């Protein structure tokens, strides 16, 4: 078994390997010595033959998410290794494989339901390209611009948990040193055919923004490499950031305005977002956070949003009825993500069924009140 572990560990040399044995994920040697104090678990030893022992520790597989999150928050990657054949029909050691490598940007089980967890990617040719996605919600956007300041402003807004940079592009390292970065194979950026086939309905956008498309391709290859055998079907579209409709705010402007966190404690409590956030759903809260950080400058769009707010403000019964039913809605975006990644359970299916059962009622409330409000639940 230890020989099998060593062979698999070579494939994830830069990650802490969670090696499934029965009802536990076990860690051995340096991985165990690193993980034990971070996870606050006992470091033990296992007989390795010839009278030698190796350090080891373990966590229950059914509660592994909490432990993985602690390690990722501490700056480590975690590789998940499980059995891939039925032990009742196998001969000798059961075959095991790494089914996922979890990094800060690919972590999809999060404690803060009001905040997106973005994985971002940068590429530069004549212009700058930026792509970012939250695999826990399916949100995927790209931006192309000649201005590095615009890229920096957008990164500051989305605050990515992980930023992907191509090999041999030293220009990027100092410009984006404040972010957790991962250096990826520069050849991944050129495999745009993969992305265009996956998002064929957005070819016009991808062809119009070739540098951003390369940034998105590098990001997509990174996801496929870390989460093999997953089609990410919950990511339905790629959209572009419309700079002509939103106000570009620099880092210090955002900070001084205390839009989503306070100056004193870098805490959400006391920020503009915390005051305005009366939303009833998790994805409504995330939408509000994005709106606050991207003020509109297009008069028509501003008027449309204000008209919606005004309608819900004036029609008390409509507002109250919607609030009541929206409070029963689960986080549909993240439920669909878990199911797409093959990690859904009975609780997720129940939450999905419950949420879907309320959607016709929401539609009926809007129709009965002759409302034209654009509802983001």
Ramachandran assignment for 26, one of left (phi > 0), alpha (psi -120 to 50 degrees), beta (any other): beta
Give me the mean pLDDT over the 259-275 stretch.
89
Ranges of each domain in the chain: 2-102, 119-240, 257-368
pLDDT at 288 over 90: yes
CATH architecture classification, 257-368: Orthogonal Bundle (1.10)
Q: In the prediction, which pLDDT does 377 show?
A: 38
CATH, domain range 119-240: 3.30.420.110
Residue 107 pLDDT grade (very low, low, confident, very high; cuts 50, 70, 90) = confident
Rounded to 5°, the CA angle 112-115-118 comes to 115
The answer to whether 2-102 and 257-368 have equal CATH topology is: no
Please state the three-class secondary structure of 89-124 as a single string: CCCCCCCEEEEEEECHHHCCCCCCCCCCCCEEEEEE
Rounded CA gap, 229 and 225, in Å? 9
Q: In the prediction, which pLDDT does 193 show?
A: 93
Give me the mean pLDDT over the 108-131 stretch.
87
pLDDT at 160 over 90: yes
Higher pLDDT, 311 or 374: 311
Arithmetic mean of pLDDT over the chain: 87
Contact between 209 and 104 (Cβ < 8 Å): no
Is the CATH code 3.40.1170.10 the one for domain 2-102?
yes
Sheet strands side by side (includes 77-83)? 44-49, 52-60, 24-28, 15-21, 77-83, 96-102
Tokens 């949420």, residue located: 355
Minimum mean pLDDT range among 107-111, 201-205, 265-269, 363-367: 107-111
- CA 228, distance to chain mean position in Å, is 16
pTM attached to this predicted model: 0.85
Report pLDDT digits (tens) over 67-106. Answer: 999 999 888 999 999 888 777 777 778 888 998 999 999 8
| E strand or H helix that includes residue 78 | strand 77-83
- Helix and strand numbers (H, E) in the chain are 15, 12
Rounded CA gap, 294 and 278, in Å? 19
Q: In the prediction, which pLDDT does 358 show?
A: 93
Q: Encoding tokens for residue 246? A: 């939103």
- CA 224, distance to chain mean position in Å, is 14
DSSP at 330: -
Three-class SS of residue 128?
strand
Q: Encoding tokens for residue 17? A: 């390997």
Q: In the prediction, which pLDDT does 170 show?
A: 56
pLDDT at 241 over 50: yes
């Amino acid at each position: 078994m230890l020989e099998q572990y060593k062979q698999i560990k070579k494939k994830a040399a830069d990650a802490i390997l969670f090696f499934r044995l029965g009802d536990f994920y076990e860690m051995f040697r340096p991985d165990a010595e690193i993980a034990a104090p971070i996870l606050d678990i006992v470091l033990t030893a296992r007989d390795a033959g010839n009278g030698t022992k190796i350090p080891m520790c373990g966590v229950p597989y059914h509660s592994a998410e909490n432990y993985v999150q602690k390690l990722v928050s501490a700056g480590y990657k975690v590789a998940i290794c499980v059995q891939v054949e039925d032990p009742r029909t196998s001969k000798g050691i059961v075959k095991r494989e790494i089914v996922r490598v979890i990094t800060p940007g690919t972590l999809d089980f999060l404690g803060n339901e009001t905040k997106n967890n973005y994985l971002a990617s940068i590429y530069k040719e004549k212009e700058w390209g930026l792509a970012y996605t939250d695999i826990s919600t399916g949100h995927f956007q790209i931006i192309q611009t000649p201005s590095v300041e615009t890229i920096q402003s957008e990164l500051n807004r989305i605050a990515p948990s992980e930023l992907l940079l191509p090999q041999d592009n030293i220009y990027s390292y100092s410009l984006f040193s404040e972010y957790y970065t991962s250096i990826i194979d520069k050849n991944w950026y050129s495999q745009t055919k993969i992305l265009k086939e996956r998002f064929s309905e957005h070819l016009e956008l991808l062809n119009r923004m070739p540098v951003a498309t390369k940034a998105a391709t590098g990001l997509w290859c990174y996801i496929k490499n870390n989460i093999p055998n997953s089609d990410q079907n919950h990511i339905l579209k790629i959209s572009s950031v419309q700079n002509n409709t939103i106000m570009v705010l620099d880092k210090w402007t955002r900070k001084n305005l205390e839009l989503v966190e306070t100056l004193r404690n870098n805490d959400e409590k006391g920020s503009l977002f915390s005051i305005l956030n009366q939303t009833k759903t998790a994805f409504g809260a995330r939408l509000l956070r994005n709106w606050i950080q991207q003020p509109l400058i297009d008069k028509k769009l501003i008027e449309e949003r204000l008209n919606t707010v005004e309608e819900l403000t004036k029609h008390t019964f409509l507002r109250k009825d919607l609030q009541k039913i929206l409070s029963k809605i689960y986080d549909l975006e993240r439920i669909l993500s878990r199911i797409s990644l093959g990690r859904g359970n009975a609780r997720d299916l129940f939450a999905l069924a419950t949420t879907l059962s309320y959607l016709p009622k929401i539609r009926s409330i809007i129709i009965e009140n002759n409302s034209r409000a654009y509802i983001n639940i």
